[in-house]
Every structure is written in C-alpha cells, then in structure tokens.
Amino acid sequence: MEIAEKVKAEKLIINPWTWQEQFGYVQAVKVSKGEQILYCAGQGSVDANGNPVHEGDMRAQINVTLDNIEEVLSQAGFALTDIVRINIYTTDIDQFFAHVDVALSRLAQVRFSSTLVEVTRLALPHMLVEIEATAVR
C-alpha cells in the first residue's frame, strides 16, 4: 500500500531592494511544490447578493473587498497566508493610499507580489477599489 504525503508549497520571497516593504508587498514570490492554485476573480464592495455597499467610502470598501476575498479563499480551502499575488485596481490612487493602512494591517502576515493601477471606472459604478488574488497551496 502506498502512502501519499501531502507536501506544503514552498514560497521564496525575492526582494532585490527594500523600498517596497513600506507598501506591504514583495517584488516576487517563487513557489515550489505547490499542489493547488486558486485564481480569484476581482472582488469589490458588494454584499452576498451582489448589492453595492459603502458608496463613496474607500476605507469601508477596502474592508468589504478583503472580507469577500477571505470568503472566496475560505470556500476553496485556502487562507490569506496562501496568497502570492494581488492586483489592485482603484479609481483614485491618492484616496487608496490615504486608507492603505486598512489593507496593510489585514495583510500583514501575507507576503505577496502586487500591482496597483488607477482606472477610470470599475465593473460597478459605485466601486472605488477591486482586488484580484492568486493563492497557492
């Protein structure tokens, strides 16, 4: 009888510089021995029925967006610490940076590569921020 051993993904952080540390992300995450990859659709500030919440409130929208990411991860058997990549889209980078502490505190234990992009509009007119995540286990 063969015994299968579950191997946990190994993550190696690649940071040729240190300036990005103040923004809470890394330059690259190299994953070895990963068994599962989860590509999450962009999440925004909507309730369980897809209804917009917290119109005009960037801080609250960041929180709800991260709640939604956590829910998707949880439903798939993943955790925040499994995230290796986050793409952030916002309609106002200055306003996002004014409230980035919310995201940084919630993601403090996560080492992820990231891109932040300002866009004219997101999928729903009320949305100020949308975040995509990729997780590996």
Q: Where are the domains of the chain?
A: 10-136
pLDDT value for 1:
43
Both tokens assigned to 44: 């925004």
Q: Write out pLDDT tens, residues 48-60.
A: 999 999 999 999 9
Identify the CATH class of 10-136: alpha beta
Is pTM beyond 0.95? Reply is: no
Point out the residues of the chain with pLDDT beneath 50: 1, 4
Q: Write out pLDDT tens, residues 24-37.
A: 888 988 888 878 99
pLDDT value for 15:
86
Q: Which amino acid is at 37?
A: I
pLDDT value for 3:
52
